[in-house]
Structures are given as structure tokens and as C-alpha cells.
Amino acid sequence: MFTNDKRQEERTGRYGTPRLQYLQELVTQFQNSTNEETKERLVANLANFAYDLYSYTFLRQLNVLELFVDCITEPNEKLVEFGIGGVCNSCADLVGDPCENDHDLVGHSPTCDSVAGGHPNPDSPQRSSPEKTTSLGCRRPQEQMT
């Protein structure tokens, strides 16, 4: 899934939709949708794109990280789950700070491990590590935690 400009051009082809345009279409569909299942599908798709560092610039440009955070406060459990998944998937490029805008997610979310696997992993390096975790389970050195 990880890509670069050359690989993306090869995959898109002459008549394909560029990544930024495709992501914008997903965001627009989400914003215009009133159907909960459609919203779930769209947030899940956006969360999958958050795995690929190539997409991160586009996701920031389109404010998708804020969309993920907004989903966490929704009453729909699937939107919460996919919103958390999107934030967790973005952690790789956020270098330990998934909530750059200081969103208060404490109490709203399980750890990334429980989202990714559907249940907490007791053998996770996070749990045996001396480091503390953010509210989303992303590791952060202990001295940075307050």
C-alpha cells in the first residue's frame, strides 16, 4: 500500500482519478450523506488511506484528521470505531502526536491495539514497555507525558 509519486502515477493510469481528487470525493460524499451506513463506509475508506504516508499530506489538506476526531464523539459506534482507527493509522506520520490540535480524546477511546484487533492485545509491546501511551495508545516517552 505504501507508495510514491511514480508508483501512484503507474497505478492511476491515464484515465484514473488522482489520489487527492479521490479523497476529496470521499470527504464530500461523507459531508453530504445522511445515511449512517454510507458515512461508516466512507470513514472506513478514509481510515484505510491513513495507513499510507503518501496520503497523509492530502488528508491534512482536506482536514480528514479533524473528521476522524469528530467521528469519535458521534453516538454511532461504528463511526467512533472508524474515527479512532483513522487517527491511529495516522500515528505513523504524526511522530507520536496523533492529536496535534490538542483534541481531548481521553475517555472517548480505547487504545489503538483494541481498535486494530478488535480486542486489547495483552502481549503488546506498549503494555510491557516503560513508556506511557497517549489516550489513543500511541507510545510517547514517559518524560513527555504530563
Give the CATH number for residue 73: 1.25.10
Give the chain's domain count. 1
What is the identity of the amino acid at 94? L
Residues 6+ apart with CB under 8 A from 25: 17
pLDDT of residue 11: 72
DSSP state, 33?
Answer: -
pLDDT of residue 95: 53
pLDDT of residue 39: 98
The parts of the chain modelled with pLDDT lower than 70 are: 1-3, 92-146
Residue 62: give the domain boundaries.
Answer: 5-144
Kindly report the length of the chain.
146
Strand bridging mode 139-140 / 132-133: antiparallel
pLDDT of residue 93: 56
